[in-house]
Amino acid sequence: MNIFGQLLSINFKPHLDLIAKLEKTVNVKSTAHFLIKKEERDCRAVELIESLGLHVHHSELFYTPAFSTRNIHVDGDVGDPPYASIFKINWIVGGTGSQMIWYETIDGYSPEKRKTVAGTYACIFDPKKCREIFNLQIENCALVQAGIPHTVVNQEEPRWAVSYVVSLSAGPGPLQSPSVSDIEQKFKNFLI
Ligand SMILES: [Fe+2]
């Protein structure tokens, strides 16, 4: 398994109703980021994650416009170094032909941390100090590593991403990300 992104065979898509509702409210030309509250989480997604011995640390929804390229960033908790491992299940709605691209930084470069509207942290990277290392088109669902610098490049369709961040520990507190071998073992029946 590569450590960046892996397509998953999961036969449902959560929060289609929420997306339909929010679709009417977003500025179609601007990126938007929403937190999905614990009590609003999709039972199927929570049950699936818990059946693997994992917990949902937080759940989010991202909107990116057609023909847009997001800045290169990492998502997640406060980490030291400023970005840390964060695995999430992403369900994609729309965004046909969109691509997620991962990068490595050049010459030990690392950017500043910023707080997001959802109360999580993100880092924005200077593209001139990054080199592409992997890319993936996600039609349906994927396990992605959002603690490695990445971006999303959209084609003619706007893209919604429902994102459930997984942790080894339940409840509030810092994210405890599973190791790559751990996550590979837990998701082995879903990897495509
Ligand atoms: Fe991200």
Structural domain spans, the chain: 5-186
Burial of 171 (0-12, 13-18, 19+ CB in 10 A): exposed
CA of 185 to the centre of ligand 1 (A): 24
**pLDDT tens string 98-126:** 999 999 999 989 887 777 776 666 788 99
CATH of domain 5-186: 2.60.120.10
**pLDDT tens string 127-141:** 999 999 999 999 999
CA of 151 to the centre of ligand 1 (A): 7
CA of 43 to the centre of ligand 1 (A): 23
CA of 77 to the centre of ligand 1 (A): 12
CA of 71 to the centre of ligand 1 (A): 9
CA of 56 to the centre of ligand 1 (A): 17
